[in-house]
Amino acid sequence: MNLLSPAATALIYLVAAICFIIALKGLSAPGTARRGNLIGAAGAVVAVLVAFFSANLSNVPWIVLAIAVGTLVAVPTARRVAMTAMPQLVALFNGVGGGAAALVAGLELTDSAHGSGAIAAIAAAAGAFTVLVGTVSFSGSVVTYAKLQELMTTRPVTFPGGQYVFGASLVAAVALAVSAVVVGANGGSNGLLLGVLALVSLAVGILFVLPVGGADVPIVISLLNAFTGLTVAASGYVLSNTLLLVAGTLVGASGTILTRLMAAAMGRSITSILFGAFKPSTMVAAGSGGDRPVRSGSPEDVAILLGYARKVIIVPGYGLAVAQAQHTIRELADLLEARDIEVLYGIHPVAGRMPGHMNVLLAEANVPYEVLKEMDEVNPEFKTADVALVVGANDVVNPAAKTTPGAPIYGMPIMEVDDAQQVVFLKRSMRPGFAGIENELLYEPKTMLLFGDAKESLSKVVASVKSL
């Protein structure tokens, strides 16, 4: 028995949709992100409760069991995941969402209740679209997870004729989707076609992501997130659920916008990111470094550079996140400011492995928002900086983005740390960054390298600054 009338259901769904819109607005700024996230979660809870009270649900025990299992898996995972692994978690969640939408739509369309005619054709088209794109999102997200987790190589994976195999698989998937629509519109059983479509789409998703290099994987995650949003919207039509239509459309639109913004921050086009690996490379090999000399220093040397500077710009990267050194870098910044040294943080749009990664990390250490400067704002400041302190970043400061045509990051706007009087790199080793190319800035005479774990190195620098 329905406890809510259709009018009440529609009204509450409208409230939930408004919550999702407010949540997206809140997530657009670090200061309001937490509140926005809570509002979005509240909207989702309301939507789930309305589904229980407004519909005649069968198999309620199984539904409750599934929710319980999902909660038992999700809550500990979300609490224990390190900030460095957050992009991988986002990729997995996104993939599960796409796979779930595809599964639900496929099962719904195997039901003969849709009948035949124009309405059945539209429902079949929405369902086939959901199965195709949702399955692509699922398998593609699994590959992005494997790349970010370094369970497989982060370099582009290509093979002779790979672009043709991908093209043929995509054509086959579209042909199967059209066949499923035709059969469904005529009242036939399209369960087998949808099953084959799902298998072919799994291959399409894998082939879609394999050629993408590690530095571009976060952009692909955002694109796949947009795909998942579109599948949720389409499944909302199949299930006659307005809220799914609204929520899916919001995710699809915001994911598309974010993908374009990230690509612009990388100075790349979407097509070059997705299919650039199939083009012949014109990049001149940078070499492995070999016995080329670098100027390394001790924590005491770095402390002297910093302690007697007038202006220091800190450029955090993924290495800082791995070492969980955000609190130590804040302590160092406080010490320098106590010596009347101006300290700024330069944040690249894709620092770390996802947008906002560094902002969230530094917020954990209570770094004030006003000292976090975006790339366009901070780049002119390097010319007046005595020291640029690069902590665990590489690709976002690599001059190859400006000087080496054909490099994976060529054209990407970078933090212009080479304009500073002195550059200090905190690195574990001379290993290249996530893009897999050498950074010539490491060999410049004005560059000093401090090798080791970022947190341990910064702790020693802090101790040395205190003794100045």
395 counts as catalytic: yes
Tokens representing 51? 């589904």
Exactly one of 301, 334, 340, 395 is catalytic; which is it? 395
Could you list the active site residues?
395
